[in-house]
Chains A and B, each alone.
Chain A
Amino acid sequence: MTHSIKDNPITDKKAMHQKTIADIIAGLNAGEFTSVEITQHYLNRIKQLDGTYNSFITVNEESALAQAEAADKRRAEGDAPALCGVPIAHKDIFCTNGVRTSCGSKMLDNFVPPYDATVVENFANAGAVVLGKTNMDEFAMGSSNETSFYGPVKNPWDTNTVPGGSSGGSAAAVAAHLTPGATATDTGGSIRQPAALCGITGLKPTYGRVSRWGMIAFASSLDQGGPMARTAEDCALLLNVMASFDPKDSTSIDREVPDYTANLNQPLDGLKVGIPKEYFEEGLNPGTEQAVHDALAELEKQGATLVSISLPHTKLAVPAYYVIAPAEASANLSRFDGVRYGHRCEDPKDLRDMYMRTRAEGFGDEVKRRILVGAYCLSAGYYDAYYRKAQQVRRLIKQDFVDAFEQVDVIMGPTSPSPAFEFGAKGDDPVAMYLEDIYTIATNLAGLPGMSVPCGLVDDKPVGLQIIGNYFDESRMLNVAHQFQQVTDWHQQAPTGIDVEGAE
């Protein structure tokens, strides 16, 4: 089952935003356009369209054009690194030297870091042009982007619905063609779920593959940065730059970064795909389920074998996660105390008053809820029942996957239980919101890489197919996704309303 897309010639300047990153690199190499031209094109689109989507918190018009100019100069001098002149956007969780980094929170509304995250540095070294910083759930806590201090991001497919979260700004910006690619982070599904809901491709790498230095921590043992783009090939190009061993991050793994584009064209003959029965039980939208089954059938046609497997501890993933992640967050967010940077309440009458009002004013409700839950789980008398128990569950969940990967090469299922929902639909029910990540959370607990690729539309809303790989098996996942995208065009679908006149 395939859909056709509008036949815009991709060499036309007006259609520049329809180019993939691979197209852009080719176009820049061929001299079809300059980095300044394409950067200006995206900046114009952001100006024209982002009032609707709210996907950016900060747009760096001036520095982006300066970077583009520098990139064009480098290219002219014959010194063009991997992403020379390619525009991207960073999730506003990555610290950018001299550029406000808010993490979606009032607490950091005035925070300008004096350093770059390693990820930001990696992209700068690769010559990428940074268009701006994308919107997100506050401190990456949310699955709908409704918790951002800067207001919710609208899903470009239907602006009454959420883009997912927490990387909703990056996902919506890519979906609305306001940037060809973006960085994002994933603690419990924050790359994959918004990628699914916005109809784009997103990859959460193996824990330790991408440096966390300069990436504002939510839950340190789960957080992992990764790329979002329209295609698997583009994700591979971005991951090539994003992944690195970083001595500044003690949890970074000293392992060579392969060329993730090298295996994209491997045929899928003999590929064993595990289908966990627990991922197709109650709570899954029938349309979503159908789209995933269709996608799996397509892969079978290409030579993959589907193997029914069980991940028996799946049901425990969400509860374990909502102990471990808040516990870590409760400590990680303690540094926001009004003493050294960030928000501080007016006229504190003493230290205690300063702490209490600063944090009461600076944090939103969801962040406060998680800090409270986390502090509770670590408290004397509750630690064993909650935190220690959750860590035991975490080991069991990891073991489920280790056992499964003895039999299969990749595991597949839906990314999220249903397509994008309307704003406010889950606002009063945190648990319903938490269940958005029911299929994605386990991979974070296990530290495994996971991906979402567009695999269908339900009521004109995108559906994501999740691909879970073994540790450091991103190349294989990208290969599978790329092969899937060679025979389907879900990733080429675009929401309506984004094709406005671009450059003047």
Chain B
Amino acid sequence: MEWETVIGLEVHAQLATKSKIFSGSSTAFGSEPNTQASALDLAMPGTLPVPNEQAYRYAIMFGLAIDADIAKTSVFERKNYFYPDLPKAYQTTQLEKPIVGAGHVEIELADGTKKSIRIHHAHLEEDAGKSLHEDFHGMSGIDLNRAGTPLVEIVSEPDIRNAEEAVAFAKKLHSIVTSLGICDGEMSQGSMRFDVNISVRRPGEEFGTRTETKNLNSFRFMEDCIALEVERQIDLIEDGGKVVQETRLYNGDTKQARSMRSKEEANDYRYFPCPDLLPVVLDNDYIESIRQTLPELPDARHDRFMEQYGLSSYDANILSGDANMAQFFETAAKASGDTKLTANWIMGELSARLNAEDQSIKHSPVNAEQLAGMITRLVDGTISSKMAKQVFEAMWNGDGNADEIIEAKGLKQVSDSGAIEAMVDEVIANSDKQVDNYRNADESKRPKMLGYFVGQIMKASKGQANPQQVNEILLKKLNDLI
């Protein structure tokens, strides 16, 4: 019997402000523990929060980008629970009056289908610190560098029906926030984290009981985790069991999930408006002034890429989706002058390597200018496609730019037709048997027989002969013999 999956996402995106949401401490990632924790971040008595206007602006930018209502009055509340990395023992967040109201995000699937996913709301809140459980001999260490980092939490409606849609939605959000420049999108550093609410039902029936899997920080983990959880729920129900409402944790490395706490164990958070922070009241002029500063958004960029670069919708989607990717592509395409080849290299070799090493394009060892330099040499015939792969490999390993590598490795392609003719002649002279076979073969089978000769010539040239010229000259000479 058929099952339908129902998914809703809660997405936490760290806002790229320089300082925290309520204190002046830096939000930089990767510093020594507790070096970015002020008296306020430590929740010392008497300290008071002051809202960071930039965090507000960023949340409003997001709201405008998803066509949402921006709340004229928004209110911070306290969400109370005890945890060592939550210094005040309450999280300052928004509940009844979030800054961003209902909106929507358009996604496009691999088969070209388009779908609109509704956003219930998005609110501002502060991140917690981190508990470190290793190296403390039975105790836990607390690092409050992250405590107070501004987050926008984006809550979708349960409009998603499978893992592909979930990933497309998550990628689209990633694309929007990175294009807006409000989040660096560094998933491996926790800059974007996804909570996935999953339930299954028979088509047409009411929603089933859902589980929530928290803190997924890669698209692949999300995809795997959804598949695993959907299967678990279906098996459970088909075996006569019931899905229990609970919070689950997924381990991407072991590909296993476990229950963290059930609904019964859930906290009563005792939300109430934070008396240290007054409601934030915005006027239209303020919101409009922010709208004026919005950069190009992914959908507009997608359409522009199709038109300006002649890309297919699918290619444009890949290249325009991530703001860093889009910038990389445009820089490289402009410098190399060959849009198509640039697109292919980015979507092919470069993406494959980045994926294999779990690296974002922002941190690509080969930058846009380097890639363009290599493509330029490919286009002008200095190197062959095969050599280009060698050059790329060397650039990836930090050996310099394309010209330096070509020079150092002596990778220059031989395009001197006299030299190539001499090599072709020599190979033909030494291959009587193969030449006979070629001559006697049916015309339709001859092209396949060229491989041997080309191989011999490339070997003789140490791989540096221009393959296109080799083909032309070889064909001409062989046909002369027929």
Contact = CB atoms under 8 A, between A and B. Distances in A.
B46 A220 contact: no
Contacts of A462: none
A117 B80 contact: no
A380 B269 CA distance: 8
B88 A335 contact: yes
Given A220-B275, A351-B84, A380-B268, A335 B45 contact: yes
A115 B278 contact: no
Contacts of B89: 331, 334-335, 337
B347 interface: no
Contacts of B102: none
Given A115-B39, A331-B90, A339-B87, A103 B82 contact: no
A269 interface: no
B80 A331 contact: yes
A302 interface: no
A340 B78 CA distance: 20
B45 A103 contact: yes
A369 interface: no
A339 B42 CA distance: 10
A214 B47 CA distance: 5
Interface stretch (B48-56, B355-363, B386-394, B462-470): B48-56
A197 to B, nearest CB: 27
B277 interface: yes
Contacts of B78: 331
A448 interface: no
A78 interface: no
A246 B286 CA distance: 24
Which of B142, B276, B278 has the most A CB atoms < 10 Å from its CB? B276
Contacts of A331: 78, 80, 88-90, 270, 272
Contacts of B43: 335, 340
Interface string A190-224: 00000000000000000000001111110111000
Contacts of B277: 250-251
Interface string A453-469: 00000000000000000
B44 interface: yes
A108 interface: yes
Nearest to B277: A250
Interface string A333-358: 01111011100000000010001000
Contacts of B142: 339-340
A247 interface: yes
Given A216-B45, A216-B46, A217-B46, A340 B276 contact: no
A91 to B, nearest CB: 12
A58 to B, nearest CB: 16
A221 B278 CA distance: 10
Consensus secondary structure, chain B interface: loop
Contacts of B87: 335, 339-340
B276 A250 contact: yes
Contacts of A380: 268, 270
B80 A334 contact: yes
Given A334-B89, A375-B270, A378-B270, A339 B84 contact: yes
B46 A214 contact: yes
A214 B39 CA distance: 10
Given A328-B275, A339-B142, A334 B90 contact: yes
Given A221-B275, A327-B272, A213 B49 contact: no
Contacts of A339: 84, 87, 142
A125 interface: no
Interface in B21-49: 39, 42-49
A255 to B, nearest CB: 15
A249 interface: yes
Contacts of A251: 48, 275-278
Contact of A95 (B45, B49, B268, B278): B45
Contacts of B44: 95, 113-115, 340-341
Interface in B246-283: 268, 270-272, 275-278
B49 A378 contact: no
A117 B46 contact: yes
A379 to B, nearest CB: 6
A355 B82 CA distance: 9
Interface string A306-350: 000000000000000000000110110011110111000000000
- In the complex, which range does the number of interface residues on chain B fall in? 20 to 34
Contacts, number: 105
A405 interface: no
A334 B86 CA distance: 10
Interface residues of A, number: 43
A387 interface: yes
B48 A113 contact: no
A111 interface: yes
A351 B84 CA distance: 8
Interface string A173-188: 0000000000000000
A395 interface: no
Contacts of A117: 46
A225 to B, nearest CB: 11
B49 A250 contact: yes
A108 B42 CA distance: 15
Interface in A209-263: 212-217, 219-221, 247-251
Nearest to A216: B45
A383 interface: yes
A113 B45 contact: yes
Nearest to B89: A334
Contacts of B140: 351
Interface string A359-390: 00000000000000001001110010001000
A115 B47 CA distance: 9
A383 B272 contact: yes
Given A115-B39, A334-B80, A339-B142, A215 B46 contact: yes
B21 to A, nearest CB: 12
B337 to A, nearest CB: 53
A355 B86 CA distance: 13
Interface string A96-125: 000001010000100101110100000000
Contacts of A115: 39, 44, 46-47
B82 A247 contact: no
A382 to B, nearest CB: 10
Give the one of A115, A330, A335 with max B CB within 10 A: A335
Nearest to B268: A380
Contacts of A375: 270
Contacts of A216: 45-46
A253 B462 CA distance: 80
B46 A250 contact: no
A103 B45 CA distance: 10
Contacts of A212: 46, 48
A332 to B, nearest CB: 9
A95 B39 CA distance: 12
A380 B43 CA distance: 26
B23 to A, nearest CB: 10
B454 to A, nearest CB: 71
A380 B80 CA distance: 12
Interface in B343-366: none
Contacts of B46: 94-95, 101, 113, 115, 117, 212-217
Contacts of B49: 250
A249 B50 CA distance: 7
Given A213-B47, A331-B90, A335-B87, 14 more contacts: A95-B46, A113-B45, A220-B275, A250-B49, A250-B277, A334-B82, A334-B88, A334-B89, A334-B90, A337-B89, A339-B142, A340-B142, A351-B84, A383-B272
27 contacts: A101-B45, A101-B46, A111-B45, A113-B39, A113-B44, A113-B45, A113-B46, A114-B44, A115-B46, A117-B46, A212-B48, A217-B276, A221-B275, A248-B50, A250-B49, A250-B50, A251-B48, A251-B275, A251-B277, A331-B90, A334-B89, A335-B45, A336-B45, A340-B43, A340-B87, A341-B44, A351-B84
Which 6 residue pairs are nearest across A and B when measured between Cβ atoms? A334-B89, A220-B275, A221-B275, A378-B270, A214-B46, A335-B43
